[in-house]
Each structure stands twice: as structure tokens, then as C-alpha cells.
Structure 1
């Protein structure tokens, strides 16, 4: 058994440091930086979109949009509808998403962390309803198609 302490005071700074003469201190000298690097990598990956996360989120969003009617106006851009559908998938960090475009050309979906770009095109078909909603905000069946590449 080693009688050396795990922590000792540094001679000049008087701060506690790992004692390299103790086996536990030596192990901590090696393990502490490895753990710190792992934590930093984990934080980095949770704050940045990956190519796979973006691809999964865009295709899931298209499926969600196709699944049920949505309240929308055919006269205005559907950027918010597309952005919310992508973010509602829960894939990716939830920030840094860029959705740009219009209904005619499609919506360009990208992030600042990835080089991949997706194009989502929407076709809105009105749903006949007896509800007293204004004509500008009707329920529409959405047909969303996704292609890889810019619109």
C-alpha cells in the first residue's frame, strides 16, 4: 500500500494537484483529460446538426405534413409550416435551421453546420369544410415532396 496522498500542494503555487507518486493520482492524471475531451465532444455534437440528422428530420417532416390537413393560406409563404414541421420531429439541436423559398419554386432547407441542402415542394389542396373560417385560412391537404439539392 502506498502512503502517498492522492492530492498534494504544489510547491510554488500552493494549489492542490494530482500526486504522480500515488497510483490513483497517476490514473487521474491520465483519465481526467480523456473524460474532459469526451464531455466537450458530446456537447459539440448536441449543439450542431449532422448530415444524417438533417436528412432524417426533413423526410420525417414531409411525412408529417402529408399525414393530415393543415390550416394555411395559399397566398402566403409556408416557410413557418415547413420550419415547424422539421423542428417538431425532435431531431437535431433545434436551432440553426434555415428555411427559405416560396410555394412555386419550393423551400430550400439547410443548416449552418452541414453542406447538404434539401428542397421541399408543397402542393396545397383545399379541404371542403363547413367550418366558418375565413377563406384566407382554410384547411389544406398538403402533398410534400423532398429532393436533395437546391430548389
Structure 2
């Protein structure tokens, strides 16, 4: 081990820098950029959707929607219900999801980060069709189906 310090002042800027004449300083010169690149890559991947994350999230969201009756209405858009189901899956960064469409042709689910889009179609069937309450206040069985590709334009 040398007697050189790990950090020395730079002669022009007077800031502390790693000392290349010290073994630890040399190691830090090599290791610090590698660690920084790893951290930046990790941050990038945690903030952007991958194709696999989107595929998993959409299919798990369909399973979640199919699992139990929900308060829903055929006449109102279901983007919020789909968005909540995708968020429940925990897949992906949780932001940047784009849901467009309507109940007649389905909802196209995509992100800016991926080239793939998915079409989710929802079918709502009242739990108790003979109820005296209006259908808007009733729970519905939701049948969600997913196919790869954008939904056709209406």
C-alpha cells in the first residue's frame, strides 16, 4: 500500500479528485463510472415500459376484471376501470399508459415506450337482471378479452 492519499486537490481547480498514484484511488477511477452507468440504467428501466411488462399487465388486468362483479355501466366509458386494473397488477412503472376507445369496438392499450398495443373488449352482464334498480347502479359481471394489436377504428 502506498503512502499517497486516496483524494488529492487538483492543481488548477483546487477540488478533490481521486489520486491515480494510490491503488484505492485507481480502483475508484475505474469503479465509479461503472456504478454510475448501472444506476442510470436501473432508473431508466424502472421509468419505462417494456414489451413484456405491458403484455403481462394487460393480461393480468383482464384476469382481475373477470374475477369479480363490479359496479359498471354499458353507457359510460370504462377507461378508468381498465387503468385501475392495470395499476393493481403492479407491472410496469405505473404511468404512461394510454387507453383509447369505447365499449363498442374495445379499448386500445399502449404506451409511448412500446411498439405493441393490445385491444381489450369488455362485456358487461348485470348480476341481477330482474332488479328494480337502474342498470347504472347494479353490479355487472365483466368479461374482458385481450388480443394483441390495436382495436379497429369505429
Pick the TM interval, shorter chain: over 0.9
Give the secondary structure class of the aligned counterpart of 1:27: helix
Give the secondary structure class of the aligned counterpart of 2:135: coil
Asked whether 1:140 is paired with 2:143, we answer no
Unaligned stretches of 5+ residues in structure 1? none
User: How far off is 1:135 after superposition?
Assistant: 3.2
Answer yes or no: is the 8 Å Cα contact 2:10–2:17 preserved in 1: yes
> How many aligned positions are there?
151
In the alignment, the residues of structure 1 paired with residue 133 and residue 10 of structure 2 have an alpha-carbon distance, to the nearest angstrom, of 75
Asked whether 1:26 is paired with 2:26, we answer yes
User: How far off is 1:65 after superposition?
Assistant: 0.6
Superposed CA offset, 1:113-134 (max 9, x none): 1011000001110001898854
Runs in 1 of length 4+ with deviation above 4 angstroms?
129-134
Superposed CA offset, 1:81-115 (max 9, x none): 11111111111111000011111100000011101
Distance 1:17 1:131, change over 3 A: farther
Give the secondary structure class of the aligned counterpart of 2:65: helix
5 Å-filtered alignment, 1:2-151, equals: 2-128=2-128, 134-151=134-151
Distance 1:133 1:19, change over 3 A: farther
RMSD: 1.6
Q: Please report the TM-score for the alignment, with normalisation by the length of structure 1.
A: 0.95
Superposed CA offset, 1:46-84 (max 9, x none): 001110000000000000111110100111111111111
Unaligned stretches of 5+ residues in structure 2? none
Q: Please report the TM-score for the alignment, with normalisation by the length of structure 2.
A: 0.93
